[in-house]
Amino acid sequence: MNILLLGSGGREHALAWKLAQSRLCDKLFASPGNPGIADHAELTPLELTDHAAVLAFCEAQAIGLVVIGPEAPLVDGLSDALRGAGVPVFGPSKAAAQLEGSKAFTKELCARHNIPTAGFERVASEAEGMAALGKFGIPVVIKADGLAAGKGVTVAMTRAEAEGAVRDIFSGRFGEAGAEAVIEEFLEGEEASFFAITDGHTIVPFGSAQDHKRVGDGDTGPNTGGMGAYSPAPVLTPLLEGEAIERIVAPTVRAMAQEGMPYSGVLYAGLMLTKNGVQLIEYNARFGDPECQVLMLRLESDLGELMLAVAENRLAALEAPRLSPDTALTVVMAAKGYPETPEKGGAIAGLDGAEATGAKVFHAGTALKDGQLVANGGRVLNVTARGRNATEAQARAYAAVDAIDFADGFCRRDIGYREVAREAQG
Ligand code: AMP
Ligand code: GLY
């Protein structure tokens, strides 16, 4: 079968690497792809918002499975256009992708189905927002409703900051994403991510991870798309994972089916492990980036088989995915200036040396310029390694980082620190 993978980041490089190994994969195409993905796939420039053009490509190349990596094409309904024409797709419909595309949609769904999440109020104007703030304590969380590239959430530590965040959203800064907002109660605890794949009915766990969203060591500085991750996240114990499935993920998948918008694809639950149990922070309708990179390094099953079974509604008949008990850890090398103003064009060398240590380097934002690999985005490389535990995986990942020559780049030096500290305590 021919497979078409959509997207261009480190997540998609990791997916391309695994899909290319699938026994079902005859030829892998990727659009737009990147120089790392080009090692596994033929790149083709498609306009992903032009659904007819993507469909025409699928028909011309006899594509048997389309894998949609990022959220924007999902929220934009690309999977509906393809599925409607009979092309199997891994990725939810436009209606189901509202779980990521609209915070208010998800909060209302949780309220209707008793799914544990922070108390909230929907607001549609600055005045409503200001009035709602009075009902919450401090800290308080303010979120633009729609997709805002990770920038639409403020955890306000003072009343003034909260008011500023409400004003900011209704000033039009986030465009349509900020036409509505959600004000939320602050949840206290440690965060963990849980992944499940589902065809709308059968739900299969796909591992856990912990991300590092702040740009600086010790979780300081502005939020980013993620500066590194590791998997599994043992803080999500088997007991807590069971609770997350039973009280959050399974009721969500059931509710979506009942309400006529079955969810098919990977469901990424951002969880807060609070004193009062596991609470949902948010859903994403796709694999996390860079969480996908560590999951793929642990995945021992055939990714193509799993994704096709999801797309064809027959996940129940398949053996559950096998993930290595090893820990995988990835360090993001970003361009100086990220997240505000990343410098483009910085030269990169030493990737072969880094991989000679046993690590895997995924390309996140690179380009080839006159034969030279250069930075072409905020997050540039994902240096990923496996070990028996987080301590070993961390040491191996940083040994590979140190073999890379990227003068205009930087990375956090403490990815995995919570788990490494727990391991040191035995
Ligand atoms: P989100 O985009 O919804 O994942 O929010 C981004 C980050 O804000 C999360 O990863 C959390 O660290 C934080 N956050 C979001 N909602 C809450 C909440 N209700 N309580 C505490 N922290 C939150
Ligand atoms: N790393 C966080 C995300 O993919 O949303």
Q: Which ligand 1 atom is nearest residue 186's CA?
A: 20
Contact 386, 393 (CB under 8 A): yes
Contact 57, 400 (CB under 8 A): no
- Whether cis (ω within 30° of 0) applies to the bond prior to 290 is yes
Query: What residues contact residue 23 under an 8 Å CB cut-off, 6+ apart?
Result: 302, 304, 305
- The Cα 404–Cα 352 span in angstroms is 9
Over its length of 426 residues, how does the chain's per-residue pLDDT go in tens digits? 999 999 999 999 999 999 999 999 999 999 999 999 999 999 999 999 999 999 999 999 999 999 999 999 999 999 999 999 999 999 999 999 999 999 899 999 999 999 999 999 999 999 999 999 999 999 999 998 877 766 788 999 999 999 999 998 888 777 766 678 999 999 999 999 999 999 999 999 999 999 999 999 999 998 899 999 999 999 999 999 999 999 999 999 999 999 999 999 999 999 999 999 999 999 999 999 999 999 999 999 999 999 999 999 999 999 999 999 999 999 999 999 999 999 999 999 999 999 999 999 999 999 999 999 999 999 999 999 999 999 999 999 999 999 999 999 999 999 999 999 999 998
Residues in the chain: 426
Contact 280, 115 (CB under 8 A): yes
| 226 Cβ closer than 6 Å to some ligand 2 atom | yes
| 69 Cβ closer than 6 Å to some ligand 2 atom | no
The residues with which 126 forms a beta bridge, in sequence order, are none
Residue nearest to atom 4 of ligand 2 (CA): 288
Q: How is the chain split among helix, strand and coil, in percent rounded to 5?
A: 35, 30, 40
Q: How far apart are the first and last CA of the chain?
A: 47
Ligand 2 centroid to Cα of residue 290, in Å, is 7
| 211 Cβ closer than 6 Å to some ligand 2 atom | yes
Instruction: Give the ligand with the smallest distance to the CA of 155.
Output: 1
Contact 105, 98 (CB under 8 A): yes
Mutation to probe ligand 2, out of 284, 379, 415 (largest number of atoms < 8 A from CB): 284
| 289 Cβ closer than 6 Å to some ligand 2 atom | yes
The angle subtended at Cα 151 by Cα 93 and Cα 68, nearest 5°, is: 25
Question: Do β-strands 228-231 and 379-387 pair in parallel, antiparallel, or remain unpaired?
Answer: unpaired
Residue nearest to atom 3 of ligand 2 (CA): 288
| 291 Cβ closer than 6 Å to some ligand 2 atom | yes
* Residue 363: DSSP 8-state: E
The DSSP H or E segment spanning 332 is strand 327-335
- Which pLDDT does position 383 carry in this prediction? 98
- Which pLDDT does position 19 carry in this prediction? 98
The DSSP H or E segment spanning 374 is strand 372-375
- Which pLDDT does position 173 carry in this prediction? 76
